[in-house]
Amino acid sequence: MPRRSEPELIHARICTLLQRGVQGVARRQGALVIGTLRLHPQERSVTWRGSAVELPTTEMRVLEVLMRFAGETLSREELSQRVRGRTLDPDDRSIDVAVSKLRSKFFDPAYGAKKIKTVWGKGYTLNPGAWQN
């Protein structure tokens, strides 16, 4: 098999990194990282653009689940099951409230609410491309 030239190797590495970024979350020393958003589950800490962001437990867990499944749509019920370990009561709006608060804390005029999208009739998805700056 012929060896690849240096530009071909660099191109292959860039393609691999871009593919990882689109597919999900990078894991660095136990942290979940998407662009400028970093969550350390064990330390219960979140930084965005290098600044610490204080989150209550429910918001932290919702963000962690959305980051682990970045780019995938998760229903309110699935989020509740993964965050709280129980099914969602039909009148329970806690997941919606947590998502709303996360959107306000991570608001960026360039992206608006596109960082965490509502997929009508399906649920929520975290858009990994919107966290790059």
How does pLDDT run across 11-63, given as a tens digit for each residue? 666 655 555 544 445 555 689 999 999 999 989 999 999 999 999 999 999 99
Handedness of CA 117, 112, 23, 27 (dihedral sign): negative
pLDDT at 22: 44
The verdict on residue 1 lying in a domain is: no
Q: What's the CATH code of the domain at 46?
A: 1.10.10.10
The verdict on residue 27 lying in a domain is: yes
User: What's the CA gap between 107 and 47, in Å, rounded?
Assistant: 14
How does pLDDT run across 79-113, given as a tens digit for each residue? 999 998 888 788 888 999 999 999 999 988 876 66
User: What's the CA gap between 100 and 104, in Å, rounded?
Assistant: 6
How does pLDDT run across 113-131, given as a tens digit for each residue? 689 999 999 999 999 988 8
State the total domains in the chain: 1
User: What's the CA gap between 72 and 52, in Å, rounded?
Assistant: 26
User: What's the CA gap between 43 and 54, in Å, rounded?
Assistant: 12
Which residues have a Cβ under 8 Å from the Cβ of 74 and sit 6 or more positions away?
65, 66, 82, 123, 124, 125
The verdict on residue 103 lying in a domain is: yes
pTM of the model: 0.76
pLDDT at 35: 92
The domain in which residue 23 lies consists of 6-131
